[in-house]
Structure 1
């Protein structure tokens, strides 16, 4: 099961950290061990690290309106999103 990191900018770090949306969108995909990170020097830069059982399913989900709505709710600046997959 690969570990995936997604990092991006957010409008409001506290809102992003408190949001239930990560669990709501990633849980049904079987994604586990979700951990959040914040750049202490620039709190608008954040990351999520997670274990992903089906990378193809995650990448398809990233294209859906539901994922876009969750990211919008969380204040994610989508154009800054970078996804890294454990090599």
Structure 2
């Protein structure tokens, strides 16, 4: 089974982003996925797309959650993916 990739769209000086990253790093021990962090300020397109929505979490290209990131929602998304294989 191929490892999932979680993408965290973030930006500097974002308290919600820092909180989300802590949750994601803890979940990485449980679900063993690749983490890619993308600063939306590095791209006008991403800044326009996500603007005030950040942090945004995508798992294997599917947007799972944005704004207030919580462990329960992300765990559910990983459990659902595992059950679909």
> What TM-score, normalized by structure 1, do the two folds share?
0.34
Higher helix content, 1 or 2? 2
Of the two structures, which has the highest relative contact order with CA contacts closer than 8 Å and spacing of 6 or more?
A: 1
